[in-house]
Amino acid sequence: MNGLRGAWRQYWVALRAMIVLTIALGIAYTFVITGIGQLALPAQSNGSIISVGGKPVGSALLGQSFTDAHGKPLPQWFQSRPSAAGDGYDGAASSGSNLAASNPAQQKAVEQRIATIEASDGVPAHTIPSDAVTASASGLDPHISPAYALLQVDRVAAARGLPADRVRALVESRMQGRDLGYLGDPTVNVLQLNLALSEMDK
């Protein structure tokens, strides 16, 4: 009998601990952290949404395509890094291709992307940076390398009837340095660059 009472006492203590910890860590902690985020960093807490004229056009954290209805790249826009997430930049299917560089399917995809860029931008294959023809691990990367952005300058300028020097200066003004000065590589956010580009036409 004493053993049974001792067991029930342990169960009761465990149950109370679970209830207290669930309330403290599962509910209270969530509300506190959410409240701090909304007060201190409201834009980031709500998805870093970018709006134009009060209308959301995307997130600074998620890549998107700049193509026509058939998936063909639009020459007047800077193009994003390829995406292997679902049909492209699908947040519900975030992932890389998981194909090795030696995989025939991956090699074929890279070769096709290289051929497309050679034709659209008039550049030799050896000048095309790797991020232009390979997807990121998430498939949602909103950034491209400065090298890929600069490679597209002449095509975008010609499509828009703008001086290439102006477009190049715009790209250079949008380059972001390494995080904390030493983490990662310099990048260019494609959506923000294209929005700034659209302002040049006005």
Task: List the chain pLDDT tens, one digit each, 202 residues.
Answer: 556 666 788 888 888 899 999 998 888 888 888 888 777 766 677 777 877 878 888 788 888 999 988 888 999 999 999 988 888 888 877 877 788 888 898 899 999 999 999 999 999 999 999 999 998 888 889 999 999 999 999 999 999 999 999 999 999 999 998 887 778 889 999 999 999 999 886 6
Distance CA 121, CA 154 (A): 7
Closest CA to 135 of 163, 98, 161: 98
Report yes or no on whether pTM surpasses 0.85.
Answer: no
Cα–Cα distance, 132 to 20 (Å, whole number): 51
Question: What is the reported pLDDT for 2?
Answer: 59
User: Are 189 and 167 in contact, with CB atoms under 8 Å apart?
Assistant: no
Distance CA 172, CA 162 (A): 16
* Confidence at residue 89, expressed as pLDDT on a 0 to 100 scale: 86
Sequence ranges of the domains in the chain: 2-43, 48-200
Helix (H), strand (E), coil (C) string for the chain: CHHHHHHHHHHHHHHHHHHHHHHHHHHHHHHHHHHHHHHHCHHHHCCCEEEECCEEEEECCCCCCCECCCCCECCCCCCCCCCCCCCCCCHHHCCCCCCCCCCHHHHHHHHHHHHHHHHHHCCCHHHCCHHHCCCCCCCCCCEECHHHHHHCHHHHHHHHCCCHHHHHHHHHHCEECCECCCECCCEEEHHHHHHHHHHHCC
